[in-house]
Amino acid sequence: MSNYIPVLLFLVAVLGLTGLMMAMVIFLGPKRSNPDKELPFETGSAPSPGDARERYPVHFYLVAILFIVFDIEIAFMYPWAVKFRQLGLFGLVEMLVFAAILMFGWFYIIKRGALKWK
């Protein structure tokens, strides 16, 4: 149980510092408001009137999911690079297999046209 005391102290310190910063922003920050600040911000363009429940093409979601999948897969390469010398030839072969599977998936996605904007 004593192994968790540093983690608990760190958590208390983080929450305390976060609370202190939030309080400083609330009490010390400027409170000047104007009509421009009250407008909703939508990617730098003026908001357009209309129905907010408009349908979006599935392609947007597909690109986002593919980005997340490949981004996470690339993140798995960092620990491998850190331990590269200790893993030796076996680690190199395993990473080459992993990279080959990623490349196969990437070429499959390109061949299917998942990244083409219509």
Domains annotated on the chain, with CATH: 2-48+56-112 (1.20.58)
Quote the radius of gyration of the chain (alpha carbons, Å).
24
Whether residue 17 has pLDDT greater than 90: yes
Whether residue 118 has pLDDT greater than 80: no
The model carries a pTM of 0.49
Pairwise CA distance, residues 3 & 33, whole Å: 49
CB 114 within 8 A of CB 62: yes
pLDDT band at residue 45 under the 50/70/90 scheme: low
Diameter of the chain measured on Cα atoms: 64
Pairwise CA distance, residues 18 & 30, whole Å: 19
Q: Given this model, what pLDDT does residue 27 score?
A: 92
Pairwise CA distance, residues 37 & 108, whole Å: 46
Whether residue 56 has pLDDT greater than 80: no
Tens of pLDDT, residues 62-91: 888 888 988 888 888 888 889 889 999 999
